[in-house]
Amino acid sequence: MDKLLMGVAAGALLAGGGMYFFGGSQTEMIDQPETIAAGEPTVEEAGAFLARVEAESEEFSEFAARTFWVNANFITYDTDWLVTRVSTEATILAVEAAGQTARFNDLDLPLDMERKMTALRAGITLPAPTTDGAAAELAGITTRLATAYSTGTYAFDDEPADLQVLSDLIDFGRDPAVLQDVWNGWRTVSPVMADDYARMVEIANEGAQELGYDDLAEMWLSNYDMPADEMEAEVERLWGQVAPLYEQLQCHVRAGLNAEYGDDVQALDAPIRADLVGNMWAQQWSNIYDLVAPEGAGSGIDLTAILIDRGFTEHDMVRTGEAFFSSLGMEPLPETFWERSLIVQPVDHSAACHASAWNLNNIDDIRIKMCTDVNAEDFNTVHHELGHNYYQRAYAGQDFTFRTGAHDGFHEAIGDFIALSITPEYLQQIGLIDDVPDASSDIGLLMQQSLDKIAFLPFGMLMDQWRWGVFRGDITPENYNEAWWELRTRYQGVEAPNDRPADAFDPGAKYHIPNNTPYLRYFLSYVMQFQFHQAACEMADWQGPLHRCSIYGNEEVGARLQAMLEMGASQPWPDALEAFTGTREMDGSAIIAYFQPLMTYLEEENADRQCGW
């Protein structure tokens, strides 16, 4: 299973600042005479327009959210039909409201109103054009894509295996022939998506152009309080800060794989084979820690074994995550969270197991949907998903449009920033270990973390780089797959284990592509979580190495964090960033500071190796 599991998934479409939903039917909206006033527009008219849109959005969003929730928990023909119907209406109404903002383009609006107008225009993930039938066609396509992914299987050992089973084989297998078979097998679910995906891009680009954008790439990049081209350059700047650490890690991991499998499987002068790193998408590599561990580091703290030995249940995992936020002075989760969340995988019906966090009424009906396993990976994931929920609840008092993260990277960073405090010191504080390992274990612990955090960085960036190219027409359907692997090799130094079939559509084998979840947020969040962590540890007057700092129990840090969370998107994101960190610029230097001992170790280990690819 893809245990990055970071998205608010379908729930992300239902929050302020994302997809907008409006009450009433399409006809009722179109027939309202106050929608477009005669004469020159005024600031007062713009304010009334925004107030109406927000009220209607909030009303309809709860109905839409509950429809998506039921579908995610019970995937059937009928719930797919309901989602398609709701998505169609939502897209029509969202595009209509976005189009109406054009009337106010030349007005000198107050900053908060201008930002709401921008959110209406740029906040639709997939806009449909106003052409008759376009929204319905788009909704049908997106539903088919999501269902193809969620219900995909591959016959392994003559038995149909779903993604959960196949991922377990990839995560922990060591037979390269089996790994290659399973890796290829999961990618047999995605070729059927390719034509639908290409048509979806055509429709959504037409919709983006109607809203005044060159294409969907410009539209997606316009959600960051700066021009789209400046945001794209910002991404490259941040990657430049962290790339040297990634390159050292890639070189070390490739050498470890070569030592395990030999030149015939993993050559020292070739990119890393994507099926060998213990993850279905080669986005995180922690499952092969034993192959690349520093000499004498041992296996580190086996948190999975500890949790199982202590008899932890899936609900205990979530209760422990809640207790961390409570230690910062935050209110406990509401009782409805425990009554309504999906925490354990159903055994009698299909559900979307990709972990996600939801707020179904945009106030306090917060939940998670997660097929939880009792292991270290899901222990971290629980803290991540709860970060979404506490953020959702904190900004519930803002205007509807601003009930979202300062930008989408903020939402993803909060829970992971908290999870950086899952240190040995924290595990001792909550009674899961008796003794904290001394500093001699730090390189091993940092190596384990880097295989998740640093290994992910280029993947987090290139996912949307591929989509930007698709949206702009630079990547055409006939070279979707070729361009995908060109980017993966260029930035990750990773390649497919074999030549790909002519009809391969490997991007579709990753959840966020068929489900149309923008991915840049994850790259940004990985930068920002370390920036948040460094700032929080400075607030806490932590004197030791940054990687040993835990803010568990620090209510002063909790109060400062809560203040930023409550802002939601009501101010430009540099204001929110400054409120917690004291700086207005995203900065990758905290990652380098956190992993500096590992960087020194890797440079020494790689001194006689030929790095690069």
Please check whether residue 67 lies inside any domain of the structure. yes
Residue 396 has pLDDT above 60, yes or no: yes
Give 347's pLDDT tier (boundaries 50, 70, 90): confident
At 410-426, the pLDDT tens digits run 998 998 999 999 998 99
Query: Which candidate in 58, 232, 247, 412 is catalytic?
Result: 412
The string of pLDDT tens digits covering residues 574-588 is 999 999 999 999 999
Poorest-confidence range of 373-382, 386-395, 477-486? 373-382
Structural domain includes residue 321: no
Q: What pLDDT, on a 0 to 100 scale, did the predictor assign at position 596?
A: 96
Cβ 384 vs Cβ 416: under 8 Å: yes
Q: What is the pLDDT of residue 508?
A: 98
Q: Any idea which of 35-39, 77-81, 500-504, 522-526 has the lowest mean pLDDT?
A: 35-39
Least confident of 193-207, 251-265, 433-447: 433-447
Do residues 526 and 416 touch, judged by C-beta distance below 8 A? yes
481/501 Cα distance (integer angstroms): 10
> How many Å apart are CA 544 and CA 420, to the nearest integer?
15
**384 counts as catalytic:** yes
Confidence of residue 127 (pLDDT cuts 50, 70, 90): very high
In the prediction, which pLDDT does 281 show?
98
Task: Report which DSSP code applies to 75.
Answer: -
Is there a domain that residue 182 lies in? Answer: no
Active site residue 354: yes
In this predicted structure, what is the pLDDT of residue 346?
A: 80
Q: Is residue 478 flagged as an active site residue?
A: no
How far is 173 from 159, CA to CA, in rounded Å? 18
Q: What is the pLDDT of residues 162-172, one digit of tens each?
A: 998 999 999 99
Model confidence at 299, in pLDDT bands (50, 70, 90)? low
Catalytic position from the list 252, 293, 354, 496: 354
Band (pLDDT 50/70/90 cuts) for residue 21 is: very low
Closest CA to 74 of 353, 360, 372, 362: 353
Structural domain contains residue 50: yes
Per cent of the chain over pLDDT 70 is 93
Residue listed under structure tokens 């079939």: 501
Mean pLDDT of 135-159: 94
Mean pLDDT score, 452-467: 97
| More reliable by pLDDT, 296 or 58 | 58
Question: Pick the catalytic residue: 255, 355, 504, 536?
Answer: 355
Q: Give yes or no for residue 358 having a pLDDT over 90.
A: yes
Q: The pTM is what?
A: 0.87
| 385 is an active site residue | yes
Higher pLDDT pick, 613 / 345 = 613
Element at 219 (helix H, strand E): helix 216-221
Between residues 524 and 26, which one has the greater pLDDT?
524
Please give the Cα distance from 453 to 450 (Å, whole number): 5
Residue 74 included in any domain: yes
Query: Which of 89, 232, 322, 385 is labelled catalytic?
Result: 385
pLDDT at residue 13 in the model: 37
Dihedrals φ, ψ of 159, to 5°?
Answer: -125, 135
**69 vs 33, higher pLDDT:** 69
Q: Which amino acid is at 321?
A: G
Q: How far apart are CA 120 and CA 428, in angstroms?
A: 47
Confidence of residue 35 (pLDDT cuts 50, 70, 90): very low
Q: Is residue 210 part of a domain?
A: no
Name the residue range of residue 15's domain.
9-144
Domain membership flag for residue 607: no
Please, which pLDDT band fits residue 180 given cuts at 50, 70 and 90?
very high
pLDDT higher for 438 or 508? 508
Catalytic residue among 384, 407, 533, 547: 384
* pLDDT computed for residue 24 by the predictor: 29
**Residue 563 CB coordination number (10 Å):** 13
Average pLDDT, the chain: 90
Q: Above 70 in pLDDT, residue 606? A: yes
Give the model's pLDDT for residue 551.
Answer: 96
Q: Is the pLDDT of residue 12 over 80?
A: no
Provide the pLDDT for residue 342.
87
Q: How far is CA 490 from the centre of its chain?
A: 22
pLDDT value at residue 36:
54
Q: How far apart are CA 474 and CA 345, in angstroms?
A: 41
* pLDDT at residue 300, as a whole number: 65
Where is pLDDT greater, at 121 or 606?
A: 606
One of 252, 383, 407, 512 is an active-site residue; which one?
512
Q: Are 231 and 224 in contact, with CB atoms under 8 Å apart?
A: yes
For position 350, what pLDDT does the model report?
Answer: 76
Asked if 449 contacts 599 with a C-beta cutoff of 8 angstroms, the reply is no
Q: What pLDDT, on a 0 to 100 scale, did the predictor assign at position 38?
A: 63
The verdict on residue 594 lying in a domain is: no
Residue 344's pLDDT band, with cuts at 50, 70 and 90, is confident
Range 237-263 average pLDDT: 98
pLDDT tens readout for residues 517-535: 999 999 999 999 999 999 9
Q: Which of 236, 435, 199 is nearest to 207 (CA)?
A: 199
End-to-end CA gap in the chain? 28
Q: Of the listed 252, 388, 411, 547, which one is catalytic?
A: 388
Please report which confidence band the pLDDT of residue 301 belongs to, taking 50, 70 and 90 as the band edges: confident
**pLDDT-based confidence at 39, cuts 50/70/90?**
confident
Active site residue 412: yes
φ, ψ for residue 51 (rounded to 5)?
-65, -40
Q: Total domain count for the chain?
A: 1
What pLDDT was estimated at residue 20? 30
Q: Are 401 and 569 in contact (CB under 8 A)?
A: yes
